[in-house]
Structure 1
Amino acid sequence: MSAPATTRPAPTAAAKPAAPGAPAKPPAPAKLLAPVKALVRKVEAGTPAHRDRAVDGLRALALLAVPTGHWLLGGFTLSPDGAIHNASPLASFGALAPASWVLQMLGIFFLVGGCASVMSFRRRTGTVRAWLGGRLARLGRPVLGVTAVWAALLPLLHHGFGVPVDTLRTASTLVIQPLWFVGVYTVVTALTPLCVRAARRFGAWAAAPLLGSVAVVDFLRYGPYADAVPSWLSLLNILPGWLFAYQLGVSWGEGRVNRRHAWGLLLGGAALFAALLLVFGYPASMVGVPGEARTNSHPPSLLVLALAAAQSGAAILLRDRLGRWLRRPALWAPVVVVNLSAMTILCWHQTAMLAAAVPASYLGEVPGLVGAPDSAGWILARLAWMPVFAGLLVLIGRYARRFESPWTRTGPARRALAGVLAAGFAVFALGLA
């Protein structure tokens, strides 16, 4: 009996070395993904067990909404002398106002800021003063960095590259606009010890007087006696308007906000939001619209607090589910990266858009970038520009992130110079010079 036949694999061609001058084969996808996978593993291994991933995830979401909103709802017009000026598609497309309801997530940012602050406050090892000093320094360094850099750039751009003064003023205004948030956040952070006491005594209701304060000011400035009310009265809304969500966050971090409270915030905030829009005639946009006499955000109106209440309720209800999702390392790693670059994103995202718009202005009108934002084509073109802005922000962030780290090698003289440059830039940006 003959032996059974065996099946032999077909011979394969021997690998030949690439001919000289031939293009190299692209690396395999696995090799391209290897650094990403290594980063994901490193982030996961370095995450402390006590880290609240849901709070970090909400903060990252609110952070990314800031550049998204500014890039989508901000545009430029081109004057005959070649200078660019601020414009907004909301002036022509009122139907875009609901987009501002989604992208206006500062209420969420203050909520998670309050929650994270109270967690850090409980874990502090030094004095309250030292704790506050550390947190405020982390907020101040990036702001000082971006304003000092822009102060140095202004004469170079004008005298070296011929950028019109009006373009530089427009750019300076855009750069400094998001920084008001840092000033307000610094104040509410300094109030953390008082917020903790209020939360421990009154729980979720500690934020109610802040809501009432804003409601009273809004009644005075928009009610039947509005003509007799001085314009500066609206400034009284700045602190309670933004402290409202922060106080909710502190109460949440103290464990004094439960699901029943969260449902009340969600439903009550949504009902108040609808009433203010449909009955009391509040502007629909959550951001300022050129040409409109009233604005909701500067200073915050009662509509901002209604939206913050609804968003806060939804965030608290979704906390556990979001925390489970972020147990997946691939979802958690981007959240960590965004949070580590929080102040860089906030301080430099307008610079990223300007890095594309200012050079483009020399070419004339460029769809979606420089030109009146008054057509559907502009909106589609702007959406196409968004990845470019994001790429420029990543590139800028590689160098700008150093401002978030302690300035251990920066002496007093350099710090003083940075302060002088920052002050000069603020004066120019605010139109005082």
Structure 2
Amino acid sequence: MTLTTLRASAASAVATIDARTPAHRDRAVDGLRALALLAVPTGHWLLGGFTLDSQGALHNASPLSSFGFFAPLSWILQMLGVFFLVGGYASSLSYRRARERGTSTACWLRGRLARLGRPVLGVTAVWAVMLAVLYAVGVPETTLRTGSTLVIQPLWFVGVYTVITALTPWCIRVARRLGAWSAAPLLGSVAAVDFLRYGPFAAAMPSWLSLLNLLPGWMFAYQLGVCWGEKRLGRRGAWFLLVGGTALFAALLLVFHYPTSMVGVPGESRTNSHPPSLLVLALAAAQSGAAILLRDRIGRLLRRRPTLWAPVVVINLSAMTILCWHQTALLAAAVPASFAGAIPGLTTGPDTLIWIAARLAWLPLFAILLALIGRYARGFESPWKQVSRGRRALAGLLAAGFAVFALGLA
């Protein structure tokens, strides 16, 4: 196939996608979701590395331990606030339309939760089989545990998102009553927990206290999205979020000395992301305000540029595949490389400028591997109509076994 033929085929596909997009489709919201989705693998691929021990096994490492200037990059790549904002917006509209069609709340929830659960069950079941195969061909157990940790790492997000999605009807009722102020108690809850675990009484606080931030911390932006979808959050509120979130973010960094990185740094006693600290909510507020203010511009751009709109559609159709399998793409390059020894950007420690340059050079390969994996893994996102109950039960058993191994319980 010649280059001219490829270009013609691509142009035809772009035109087809643009023509089949309904006029009422909110392209800006899809564009924001695609941007937030792409930030997840990009962040993990850039801010995650490996070291190779004397037995040839891989261990997790991070360039953030050696390069503090990487921390501001995490402010850009940490876009889960935008993802939850768009998720709340989309859920609000979807629930309203379902109720208008006469669909029950329980039926709507089953459909939404199944769409989240199938890909997670698929990736964990496949990895359960892969563990046995990789161990049989000589991959060290330490490498398998390292890989399992990376694979299961993004799945906590799906679990939290599932719980929050189940609370959508309640979120809508509160949004209709209180408007955007319905998100304020969530912010206050996280602030109170942060004060207890970082303030003058921190030494007397139990270690599990931070877990109280898990649900309200990630629900904050989702609630803002529900308010946006219910038309209870407009441009004035968006400006307040942008300015207020930015000011709070700066104060937490400069006055209250929160960790600079938005993701965990090995060796650091404090982390902003697991569970989320008040700094995460400040960033989410600023990002949410900016997203709402830029919505019209983004929408116009995607309507005028079909070549930009086509990849947005593809990314949105593969959302769960990207979230569930992007770490597998990284491991598909790193694990074979570990048998070859020290390869910059793959198996060498992320503590030199050479590593940074090499990792940037490897990013296209990771993307290609993810695309190849996704070609087959996307089937897990579709309804499992042809899958028998026995196979579903087997998949559940395999997934449970993988979770036990990945969490270090076996």
Fold-level match, TM-score > 0.5? Answer: yes
**In structure 1, which of residues 380, 397, 400 is the aligned counterpart of residue 357 of structure 2?**
380
Deviation (angstroms), 1:45: 2.2
Q: Who is 2:284 aligned against?
A: 308
The one-letter amino acid paired with 1:254 is E
The one-letter amino acid paired with 2:188 is G
Deviation (angstroms), 1:50: 1.9
Q: Who is 1:257 aligned against?
A: 233
Q: Who is 2:187 aligned against?
A: 211
The one-letter amino acid paired with 2:81 is G
| TM-score normalised by the chain length of structure 1 | 0.93
Aligned-partner Cα distance in 2 for 1:306–1:82 = 42
For residues 196-242 of structure 1, the C-alpha deviation after alignment (integer angstroms, 9 at most, x for no partner) is: 01111111111000000000000000000000110101000000000
Q: Who is 2:200 aligned against?
A: 224
**In structure 2, which of residues 267, 274, 280 is the aligned counterpart of residue 298 of structure 1?**
274
**In structure 1, which of residues 53, 58, 64 is the aligned counterpart of residue 32 of structure 2?**
58
Deviation (angstroms), 1:47: 1.4
The one-letter amino acid paired with 1:226 is A
For residues 87-111 of structure 1, the C-alpha deviation after alignment (integer angstroms, 9 at most, x for no partner) is: 0000000111000000000000000
Question: Does structure 1 residue 27 correspond to structure 2 residue 2?
Answer: yes
Question: Does structure 1 residue 115 correspond to structure 2 residue 89?
Answer: yes
Q: Which runs of 5+ in 1 are unaligned?
A: 1-25
Aligned-partner Cα distance in 2 for 1:39–1:67 = 25
For residues 218-275 of structure 1, the C-alpha deviation after alignment (integer angstroms, 9 at most, x for no partner) is: 0000000000110101000000000000000000011111111101100100000000
Question: Does structure 1 residue 42 correspond to structure 2 residue 16?
Answer: yes
1:381-400 aligned at under 5 Å gives the runs: 381-400=358-377
The one-letter amino acid paired with 1:318 is L
The one-letter amino acid paired with 1:105 is M
1:151-300 aligned at under 5 Å gives the runs: 151-159=128-136, 161-300=137-276
Deviation (angstroms), 1:49: 2.1
Aligned-partner Cα distance in 2 for 1:153–1:332 = 36
Q: Who is 2:71 aligned against?
A: 97
Question: Does structure 1 residue 135 correspond to structure 2 residue 109?
Answer: no
**In structure 1, which of residues 79, 87, 105 is the aligned counterpart of residue 61 of structure 2?**
87
Moved more, 366-375 or 43-52: 43-52
Deviation (angstroms), 1:138: 0.4
Aligned-partner Cα distance in 2 for 1:122–1:54 = 20
Could you tell me the percent identity over the aligned residues? 76
Runs of 4+ in 1 over 3 A off after TM superposition: none
Question: Does structure 1 residue 348 correspond to structure 2 residue 325?
Answer: yes
Deviation (angstroms), 1:35: 1.7
SS in 1 for 2:51: strand
Aligned-partner Cα distance in 2 for 1:148–1:102 = 33
Aligned residues: 406
**In structure 2, which of residues 300, 305, 316 is the aligned counterpart of residue 339 of structure 1?**
316
Deviation (angstroms), 1:28: 5.3
Aligned-partner Cα distance in 2 for 1:49–1:303 = 38
The one-letter amino acid paired with 1:84 is L
For residues 332-374 of structure 1, the C-alpha deviation after alignment (integer angstroms, 9 at most, x for no partner) is: 1110000000000000000000000000001111001111100
Higher alpha-carbon Rg: 1
Q: Who is 1:5 aligned against?
A: none
For residues 117-136 of structure 1, the C-alpha deviation after alignment (integer angstroms, 9 at most, x for no partner) is: 11111111211111110010
For residues 26-81 of structure 1, the C-alpha deviation after alignment (integer angstroms, 9 at most, x for no partner) is: 7352x221221221122122212221111100000000000000000000000111
Aligned-partner Cα distance in 2 for 1:46–1:188 = 32
Aligned-partner Cα distance in 2 for 1:275–1:343 = 35
Q: Who is 1:431 aligned against?
A: 408
Change (3 A) 1:28 1:246: closer
SS in 2 for 1:281: coil
Aligned-partner Cα distance in 2 for 1:181–1:36 = 34
**In structure 2, which of residues 306, 331, 339 is the aligned counterpart of residue 329 of structure 1?**
306
SS in 1 for 2:339: helix
The one-letter amino acid paired with 1:43 is I
| TM-score normalised by the chain length of structure 2 | 0.98
**In structure 2, which of residues 394, 399, 403 is the aligned counterpart of residue 422 of structure 1?**
399
SS in 2 for 1:280: coil
SS in 2 for 1:76: strand
SS in 1 for 2:295: helix
The one-letter amino acid paired with 1:362 is F
Aligned-partner Cα distance in 1 for 2:280–2:39 = 16
SS in 1 for 2:217: helix
Aligned-partner Cα distance in 1 for 2:279–2:3 = 52
